[in-house]
Amino acid sequence: MKKFTFLLLILTLAIVTSCENPLTPIQSFTASKGTYVARIHLAIEQVADAENYNIQRRNPVTNEWEEIHWGSSHFIQDDGWGLDNGLIEGQVYEYRARAHKNDGGYNDWSEVTTGYIFSPSPKLKYLNYYKENPNDYSYKLEYLISDKLPKVLHNLQRRHIELWRSESINFISKEQILSTEFSPETKDSIIAGTTYDYDYNPNKTYYYKLILRYDYDYYRYNNGVMVHETTGQYTKESSVINGNDITEPGGGTVEYNVTDYGEINSSATNAKDGTIMCSDGSTVYLGYFDNYSALASIGKPVIMKNDGANWQNAFSSLPSELNTDNSIEEFDFTVASNVIYLAALGSEDLYVYKYNGAWSQNLSTSVLWGISKPNYLNIAVLNNELYLTIQQDDDIKVFKYGVTDWTQIGSNVATGFNTNTKLKNLDGKLYIWYEANINGSSSTTLHIKHLEGSSWINNFEWSKDASQNFDLIKVGNVLYFKYDISGTEGNVCKVTSNTSATNLVDGVNGLFSPKSITSDASGNIIISCITGTSLNDIHQEVWVYESLEWKTINDDYSGTSFRKNSSSVQALNNDIHFVYGLKSSEDALYYPTVLKAKKYSK
């Protein structure tokens, strides 16, 4: 009897042990959202001791969960296997996952995650036939095509764009009038150019269609390793359009959901100026001068942050030596990997700090100051290393911080009468730009360079009389910049060669002066700008450049101040944060004393 009881106990323990679930729950299970051509990339954070993973997709037709993966790999690319029509553009797919251990069974299903494939939407925006000379046999054709790509499209290999023409709306017969292709590095959404046409007849009505082919990598998984298998091709055709209906881009408004955060740091009541914005992770940051004195051109730096809920101080107080210096003329800041970097220039001292829960000591040394008081201070972080540019006498220099001191990077960036130097990490590359001036002249030349190794390489040189306040962004591998002229006019431009740029703002009625520029995760350019049609209607608005059209985000802008430098925009994913000075709070010198903030989201 004792032996039987003992065996029964052992059997019971074995059953209980086998029913236990030793695998920890899946902590992270993600699906790509429009960042793969014809595929949805699924990734499970590895579970300790798991031997296999099981992924299911909910069939959007039957609403049933269907297995699409069982194996040791913790990441796969869903190609639509098992669905009657494969993966469809615009369809959001649901997934769940769990881990398995041979002697421990399954853990619980993960939370449901969603994903979708890249959905191209090519558009023929503009066509213009003309003869360069009246006696020419051929016509020259100007074209503008919009093919907006996300900033990241992981498996794109090559893009082919074809334009077809027919005399029939049914395209019974057709001819190809344009064929071009782009490497994956060229993610420009604005395709513009010219070609010659020997068959065009101005007396005929033509119909047009775009055919785009996206070559993409296809992978399979071998023992948990992603192995390149072959290249697929995804084809997208535009709708047929009557040539008479093709006109230049228009405008209008675009709808966003508006979150009004109200006043920022409302306890402060003095002048605000010099707004700067940036983002890091899921947080947006704002810097500005508080207690700004226009007569002395000095103020106190303030840095705020917004994690999606509200705006709050990024730290409790400034470093004591900076806080007691009432002569701060310039400041700049940036954030990387949750570390805040702050630099400020006073009448007699230069300050550089890192903040990661507590302030570092002042990292500035005499190397940065030089012989006499420097100016045009700016900082950037690349690969968690801090870079600083400053103008010593007439020399623009860039330094990198080491363990205890600063080392100049390369030779001097420029020498001479240069102003408004800026330094920025754009998609993992360090760019510097500045305005070159000529004494006694209003001529201004923008210079853009980037760092390669220890050398500064020229990217762009462009002149515009009286232009100033340049800012730079990068969308894909294309550079865009904004500028203004005396705060009353300006433009946003696309860099098209080493010495040329295309204006993106044409035919604007009334005042137009861009104040700040950013871009969202979809590759759209966003600006805050001064606009208005009369002296009584000058204000700021937020514009989005989408599919070759500038559109105003639909909102009430009547309370925005257009004075000074109290506004900025910063995109985070596809949300847009807008900070502006309140017009009714302007002091006697027209500096806003109250900043307000909004978020625009889809």
Please tell me the pTM assigned to this model.
Answer: 0.67
pLDDT recorded at residue 534: 56
Per-residue pLDDT of 424-462, as tens digits, reads 999 999 999 999 988 777 789 999 999 999 999 999 999
Return the CATH superfamily for domain 23-115.
Immunoglobulins (2.60.40.10)
CATH ID of 123-245, from 1.10.15, 3.30.70, 3.30.1490, 2.60.40: 2.60.40
pLDDT at 250 over 70: no
Predicted confidence at residue 533, as pLDDT, reads 63
347: Cβ contacts below 8 Å, ≥ 6 apart? 327, 329, 373
**How does residue 246 score in pLDDT terms, banded at 50, 70 and 90?**
confident
Give the 3-state secondary structure of 458-470.
EEEEEECCCCEEE
* 235 touches 558 (CB < 8 A): no
- C-beta neighbour count of 447 within 10 angstroms: 21
- Rg from Cα positions in the chain: 29
**Mean pLDDT in residue range 201-208:** 95
Burial class (CB in 10 A: 0-12, 13-18, 19+), 153: buried
Q: What pLDDT does residue 86 have?
A: 94
For position 509, what pLDDT does the model report? 45
Average pLDDT of the chain to the nearest whole number: 88
Q: What pLDDT digit, counting tens, does each position of 356-415 carry?
A: 999 999 999 999 998 889 999 999 999 999 999 999 999 999 999 998 899 999 999 999
Q: Is 83 helix (H, G, I), strand (E, B) or coil?
A: coil
- The Cα–Cα gap between 514 and 573 comes to 22
The sign one gets for the Cα dihedral 239, 245, 246, 249 is negative
Calpha distance 579→581 (Å, rounded): 7
Domain boundaries, the chain: 23-115, 123-245, 269-513
Q: Which CATH architecture has domain 269-513?
A: 6 Propeller (2.120)
The three-point CA angle 13-14-16 to 5° equals 65
Burial of 266 (0-12, 13-18, 19+ CB in 10 A): exposed
The answer to whether the 23-115 and 123-245 domains have the same CATH topology is: yes
Q: Is the pLDDT of residue 1 over 50?
A: no
Sign of the C-alpha dihedral computed for residues 473, 479, 480 and 485 taken in this order: positive
**Amino acid 309: pLDDT:** 82
Q: Of how many residues is the chain composed?
A: 602
> Order of strands across the sheet with 40-44?
29-31, 40-44, 75-78
Amino acid found at 432: I
Q: What is the pLDDT of residue 183?
A: 80
